[in-house]
């Protein structure tokens, strides 16, 4: 699993355990949008608070599945910005619609990661409960509809507008960086990138069975690209990916 995704999961889990040891932290770290200017730190800390074991489990499960691939695509810095901007926008949108409702959870940030996944791989199939297949783009549409309906109905004690804010934050951020990403990709395609001597032999030794399933798919894709287009066709990101998993081989 990629480094920042793992760190986010560890921090969320650690804070969840800490709040049980020190219950008073919940009031200090959760967000009441109307008071965010009085307690400005809560617009960040609320993302690391969770109401129950089920709440944190499903949030971290979603981050585990969607985070690594998005992090690989964006890189660590942009990935963290996506995560926090999405969570931040979740709090901002809640300020306008549910200003006095206490909010906790990483859902807004993780909805942003889900949106980014659908943005880059809209037709990727996701299996709900491991059974029901749905394309990533339609999953975002479905979650948007559920959050809109739930928010307007004020049902279930769920921070629906925080979820919608996560989508909004991710959309705005990805549009902001989209030109730079595509420009970098075009430059990478236009100019061949030198590959270190012996790199191809070292890459061939990568054991795909030891990788996360998402990284296996990326490894298979890059190996197929090398087989059909040659090592010189790889982008700097693809070379960095192969080098990362072949270190020490």
Q: How many CB atoms lie within 10 A of CB 80?
A: 15
Residue among 212, 213, 208 nearest 246 (CA): 208
**Block residue for tokens 């999405």:** 86
pLDDT at 155: 52
What's residue 64's pLDDT? Answer: 94
What the chain holds in terms of domains, given with CATH numbers, is 3-184 (1.20.1540.10), 192-245 (no CATH)
Q: What is the pLDDT of residue 80?
A: 95
CA 114 to chain centre: 6
Report d(CA 132, CA 128) in Å as an integer: 5
Active-site amino acid positions: 107, 163
Sign of CA dihedral 113, 27, 6, 146: negative
Instruction: Give pLDDT tens digits along the chain (249 positions).
Output: 568 999 999 999 999 999 888 877 888 899 999 999 999 999 999 999 998 899 999 999 999 999 999 999 888 899 999 999 999 999 999 998 889 888 999 999 999 999 999 999 999 988 887 788 899 999 999 988 988 877 766 655 677 889 999 999 999 999 988 766 566 565 555 555 666 777 878 888 888 888 888 888 999 998 888 888 888 778 888 888 888 888 766
């Amino acid at each position: 699993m990629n480094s920042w995704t793992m760190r986010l999961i560890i921090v969320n889990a650690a804070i969840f355990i800490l709040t049980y040891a020190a219950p008073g932290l919940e009031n200090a770290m959760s967000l009441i949008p109307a008071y965010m200017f009085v307690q400005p730190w809560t617009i960040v800390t609320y993302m690391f608070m969770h109401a129950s074991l089920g709440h944190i489990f499903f949030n971290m499960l979603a981050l585990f599945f969607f985070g690594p691939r998005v992090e690989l695509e964006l890189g660590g810095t942009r990935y963290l910005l996506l995560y926090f901007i999405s969570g931040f926008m979740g709090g901002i949108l809640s300020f306008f619609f549910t200003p006095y409702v206490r909010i906790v959870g990483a859902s807004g940030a993780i909805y942003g990661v889900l949106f980014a996944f659908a943005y880059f791989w809209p037709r990727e199939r996701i299996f709900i409960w491991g059974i029901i297949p749905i394309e990533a783009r339609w999953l975002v549409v479905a979650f948007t509809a559920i959050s809109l309906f739930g928010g307007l109905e004020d049902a279930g004690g769920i921070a629906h507008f925080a979820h919608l804010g996560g989508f909004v934050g991710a959309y705005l951020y990805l549009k902001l960086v989209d030109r730079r990403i595509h420009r970098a990709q075009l430059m990478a395609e236009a100019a061949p990138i030198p590959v270190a001597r012996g790199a191809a032999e070292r890459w061939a030794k990568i054991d795909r069975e030891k990788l996360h399933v998402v990284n296996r798919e990326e490894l298979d894709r890059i190996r197929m690209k090398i087989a059909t287009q040659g090592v010189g066709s790889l982008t700097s990101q693809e070379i960095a990916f192969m080098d990362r998993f072949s270190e020490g081989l």
